[in-house]
Chains A and B, each alone.
Chain A
């Protein structure tokens, strides 16, 4: 990536820096640090990052051939196992990169927001590892449905700050963290959790995550003798998507599929300001939120809608500006999978392959189930994270539905409560 590109805050018409004045110097300072340390490896930053990702993080993660799915779909399915990264999700790539960068920049304190709790967990782990005090902002709805991660954040020594406004999900947590940042900007770095927010975050987070596609590309060539025909990843903010796509963007023959949460329906209740999905790329339109121009779920006035998804990590009314741009360019295909199909895929992957995926990730497998006939003969699916955090939600949501594939959970009821 060129230095010139590093200075350009836009992806086509998307991106930019729409933040309160108090934050402008901080994001300019960050853009400067991004260029020096990340792009130019000043003081050996990238070397240290890579070595910590290997030793602390457990990289490289495997590109695993999936026997059962390959047979089922009559195509070669490969799994990029980000669920095997330390912490259980791709989120560590970015969190470790940013906490380390904050250290190089001389910051004294870390704040972050989290939806699924995976980014919060990864940031808390990176902060403990690098000895930085850290606070994680999390919406109350998400605290309730991602309890295991709340525990992990606290056990790693970070504070969890509950956010009560609105529906209490990722959108509100991001707004609240921006407010906190505006108050403490002089000594604090905000580790944003996805390829969203003002420049340089979308580029920087993509660069930290692009280790996924860098490895996957090499591994595919080594293991199959060529490039995959398709790469599939779920998109909330889009960080695992951009990470999985980045090194393939120039390989025009590789099709890139971003799978969003279709929630319970794609229809929107304008009067209530609610979208029962978070299919921003498929159904949203252009606007400005959280520091960037991008695609958004919004009403005709421009008020941001509450989004909904069974998976907390996809439940966001915005999406990364670069992803929005790649969709407009026709390079990335946006698709969506509803809650039911994602749950079904969750159980299938668990039973067929012995991998319990995050509910976010399960959306990517739901896509595979429904649309495998449209795909080529070598498909890479990014397993963005593991599903331990989601077990309570999965049991609750599975019990509500009549899913043929779901296991019989009555043993838990006999024991009284979920027992988790």
Chain B
């Protein structure tokens, strides 16, 4: 399933969870709850030991997942075991993709990912300059490669990304690392304006926490919202309190619904619709 399809009819809600957080079985239930709550695509984190683009919340999720035995092979099994019918994006760091292929570069990883049903990748430590081999492999197997646009990204670099991006473009709402925030940064609107004429959907992430945030971001012109840390917080809290899996899943589903509804409201407020 191509990633753009997730944005086709209405603003998309794209949640993130680390696969295997806090363990394999619960994590399957949590990801499925997000789909129930209205996710249009799901970013699944394949945990890497040095997640330099991640804030404390997701770092801790990654530690929990690794400690409970998540590996690259288990991740692929996880994707196969998932019972959801929305496109899945693998979010990970380049070393895992690269290492899987031994001497063959990223191709074997992409082939396997395609095989288990992954639709695309977000690789936060792989800038457009270094992405050639992964882009080629994605083209070969029909997968998308999402790039992140930061508030600091220069116009020259925007052009480089524009040539390579597919699926959606991930608009980083503010500087820094992932983590839920209580406000929406002005940088978001400026970033959206800079890429307004790109012909891929624009999804905004980093710091979105509530339905109101989602509403404002879609109202500002985004085609979708990406939410990670606010959802991971629910997993973490459930884990720390020893709450039953079903209860945590219900909370995730409820927040997912709130975020999706917020995005839908945002679309109605837009002066004129982006897409025809």
**Shortest Cβ distance from residue A293 to the other chain B in the assembled complex, whole angstroms:** 8
Q: Which residues of B contact A184 (CB under 8 A)?
A: 175
Q: Which residues of A contact B195 (CB under 8 A)?
A: none
Q: Which residues of A contact B96 (CB under 8 A)?
A: 301-303
Given A22-B175, A165-B63: A289 and B50 within 8 A (CB)?
A: yes
A-contact 0/1 string along B31-75, CB 8 Å cutoff: 000000000000000001111111100010001001000011000
Contact A288 B63, beta carbon cutoff 8 Å:
no
Contact B94 A303, beta carbon cutoff 8 Å:
no
Contact A20 B66, beta carbon cutoff 8 Å:
no
Given A18-B127, A289-B95: A304 and B150 within 8 A (CB)?
A: no
Contact A185 B63, beta carbon cutoff 8 Å:
no
B127's partner among A21, A178, A186, A296 (CB-CB below 8 A) is: A21
Contact A21 B172, beta carbon cutoff 8 Å:
yes
Given A182-B175, A182-B176, A301-B72: A25 and B98 within 8 A (CB)?
A: no
Contact A303 B125, beta carbon cutoff 8 Å:
no
**B100 CB-CB contact with A under 8 Å:** yes
Q: Which residues of B contact A171 (CB under 8 A)?
A: 50
Q: Show the binding face of B for A, using Cβ within 8 Å.
A: 48-55, 59, 63, 66, 71-72, 93-96, 98-100, 124-127, 129-130, 147-154, 157, 172, 175-177
Q: Which residues of chain A from 166 to 197 have a CB within 8 Å of any chain B CB? A: 166, 171, 175, 178-179, 182-186
**Shortest Cβ distance from residue A255 to the other chain B in the assembled complex, whole angstroms:** 30
Name 29 A/B residue pairs within 8 A (Cβ), A-sorted.
Answer: A17-B127, A18-B94, A19-B127, A20-B52, A22-B150, A22-B152, A22-B175, A28-B157, A165-B63, A175-B51, A175-B52, A179-B176, A182-B176, A184-B175, A186-B175, A287-B95, A287-B98, A288-B94, A288-B125, A289-B50, A291-B125, A298-B95, A301-B100, A302-B95, A302-B96, A302-B98, A302-B99, A303-B66, A303-B96
**Shortest Cβ distance from residue A137 to the other chain B in the assembled complex, whole angstroms:** 13
How far apart sit A273 and B272, CA to CA, in the bound complex (Å)? 54
**A6 CB-CB contact with B under 8 Å:** no
Q: Which residues of A contact B148 (CB under 8 A)?
A: 20-21
- Bin chain A's interface residue count: 35 or more
**Shortest Cβ distance from residue B34 to the other chain A in the assembled complex, whole angstroms:** 24
Contact A179 B127, beta carbon cutoff 8 Å:
no
B-contact 0/1 string along A290-318, CB 8 Å cutoff: 11000010101111100000000000000
4 additional A-B residue pairs with CB within 8 Å, beyond A22-B172, A288-B125: A22-B151, A24-B152, A301-B99, A301-B100
